[in-house]
């Protein structure tokens, strides 16, 4: 929604810097979401492997 407002400001001759910083922020958040989704599955596999190791080790 903020991107639409920023584009509207640019069309009316103001807000170029706002569009640039807003777009950069959007891509930063998008990258974080992608990384969270990517490594969330790896974390589940790590916990599964750790539980298997703990179950095989008898104290």
Range of the structural domain that residue 10 is part of: 2-56
| 29-57 average pLDDT score | 77
Q: How far apart are CA 43 and CA 30, in angstroms?
A: 20
How high is the mean pLDDT of the chain?
82
The number of distinct structural domains making up the chain is: 1
Residue 25 confidence class, pLDDT cut points 50, 70, 90? very high
Q: From CA 56, how far away is CA 42, in angstroms rounded? A: 21
pLDDT greater than 90 at residue 32? yes
Lookup: tokens for 54: 């703990």
For residues 5 and 25, the answer to whether their CB atoms sit within 8 Å is no
Which one is predicted more confidently, 55 or 28?
28
Per residue in 6-16, pLDDT tens? 889 899 988 88
In the predicted model, is pLDDT for residue 34 greater than 80? yes
């Amino acid at each position: 929604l903020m991107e639409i407002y920023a584009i509207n400001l640019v069309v009316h001759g103001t807000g170029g810097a706002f569009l640039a910083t807003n777009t950069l922020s959007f891509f930063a958040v998008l990258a974080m979401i992608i990384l969270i989704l990517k490594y969330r599955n790896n974390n589940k596999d790590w916990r599964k492997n750790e539980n298997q190791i703990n179950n095989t080790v008898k104290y």
